[in-house]
Amino acid sequence: METPDGPRAGGWASYDAVRADTAPQPSPPPLPPPASASPPPSRLNAGRLWAGGVMTAGVAGLTAVVAVLLVRGVFGVSVFGPAGDGVPANTSATVPAVTAAAAALGATGVLHLLALTVRRPCRLFSCLVTLTTAALVLLPFGTAASPGEKVGSAVVRLAVGVTVGALLSAVGRGALRRGR
């Protein structure tokens, strides 16, 4: 029961009176952002991306040369087989090296495009490189080449695909920075 003069009987003080008698209370710490908040946008360092892409192209070309030399020299297997019946001609190690370097530069362009358009470009890029590598590794098995030539070509393509995928994924993570 409250009287017109103040708090109700029983000794209870009003909220304002109690508040006036106490020291100021510190404000509670701010709440952390919710876990579902989206990450800050990425900033792309295009110069770093393309410099890494050019270096990756060089490494991919050298990987193709080493893989061809290994398959031909150590195992004595022709990588591309004789021409005809759907089998490409047996060429020097230069063609796979140039092709690997061009593929790495093309992959750098794809990564640049993904970085400008999607939320998690490195994750999507890794999936694309993995599926493309798998398709290119399986491609020789649809030709009329000998089993050794099929395996040799698949090994070269796998080595190049793993090299390009690993290096460009790392380059992409380095060229993309979160936040301001």
Task: Report the pLDDT value the prediction gives residue 43, as an integer from 0 to 100.
Answer: 84
pTM assigned to the model: 0.70
Residue pointed to by tokens 């150590």 = 74
How large a percentage of the chain has pLDDT more than 70? 72
State how far the Cα of 100 lies from the Cα of 168, in Å rounded to an integer.
Answer: 13
Cβ proximity of 125 and 169 under 8 Å: yes
Amino acid at 160: V
Confidence of residue 28 (pLDDT cuts 50, 70, 90): confident
Give, for 176, the enclosing helix (H) or strand (E).
Answer: strand 176-178
CA atoms of 39 and 169, how far apart (whole Å): 19
Residue 177's φ and ψ, nearest 5 degrees, are -120, 140
What's the pLDDT tens digit per position in 85-127? Answer: 555 555 678 888 999 999 999 999 999 999 999 989 999 999 9
- Per-residue confidence (pLDDT) for residue 56, from 0 to 100: 97
Residue 74 has a pLDDT of 83
Q: What pLDDT, on the 0 to 100 scale, is given for residue 147?
A: 87
Asked if residue 82 has pLDDT above 50, the reply is: no
* Residue 21, number of CB atoms within 10 A of its CB: 8
